[in-house]
Amino acid sequence: MDVHVSHVREKLDKQEMPTNQGCCVPGCTLEGQDLPRVHAFRHHIPGIFDDRLPCNDASVVKGRVMALTQVATWLLRCPCVLSELVDLVNRQRVLAPLSGVRVSPDCRQAMVEVCNYLGVSVPQQFVLSPANSPAVLIHWRVLSLLAAILQPEDRDYWRSVFPCPSDIQLQSVKSLPVAFDSHFHIDRLRNAAQAPCMPVDELMELGQVEDHQLVRLVGGIGIFCDPNTFPSPQDMSGLPSNVGVVVGLHPKHSTMSNDRINNALDRVRNMLKCERVVGLGEIGLDHSVADKQWPRQNDLVRAMLHLINDRHVVVVHCRGASGDSGVEAYLLLLHLLSPISRTQRFHVHCFTGDTYVLTKWLAAFPNTFFSFNRNVQGFSLDQSEALRSLDENKLLLETDAPYFRATGQWFSAPNQLFQIAEGVAKCRNIPVEHFLEVSCNNALRLYRMQ
The answer on 337 and 291 residing in a single domain is: yes
> Nearest Cα to 414, choosing from 204, 253, 216?
204
pTM of the model: 0.69
173 domain-assigned:
no
Q: How distant is the alpha carbon of residue 443 from its chain centre?
A: 15
| pLDDT digit string, tens, across residues 433-444 | 999 999 999 999
Number of structural domains found in the chain:
2
What three-state secondary structure class fits 284? strand
> Nearest Cα to 382, choosing from 360, 358, 361?
358
| pLDDT digit string, tens, across residues 110-125 | 999 999 999 999 999 9
| pLDDT digit string, tens, across residues 29-88 | 664 444 567 788 888 999 999 988 999 999 999 999 999 999 999 999 998 899 999 999
167 domain-assigned:
no
171 domain-assigned:
no
Give the CB-side neighbour count of residue 202, counting CA atoms within 13 A.
Answer: 21
> Nearest Cα to 337, choosing from 369, 294, 306?
306
Domain of residue 383, residue span? 178-446
166 domain-assigned:
no
334 domain-assigned:
yes
More confident residue, 160 or 26: 160
Domain boundary among 126, 161, 196: 161
Cα separation, 237 vs 321, whole angstroms: 38
170 domain-assigned:
no
| pLDDT digit string, tens, across residues 124-178 | 999 999 999 999 999 998 999 999 999 999 999 999 999 999 888 887 656 789 9
Cα separation, 19 vs 200, whole angstroms: 10
The answer on 140 and 241 residing in a single domain is: no
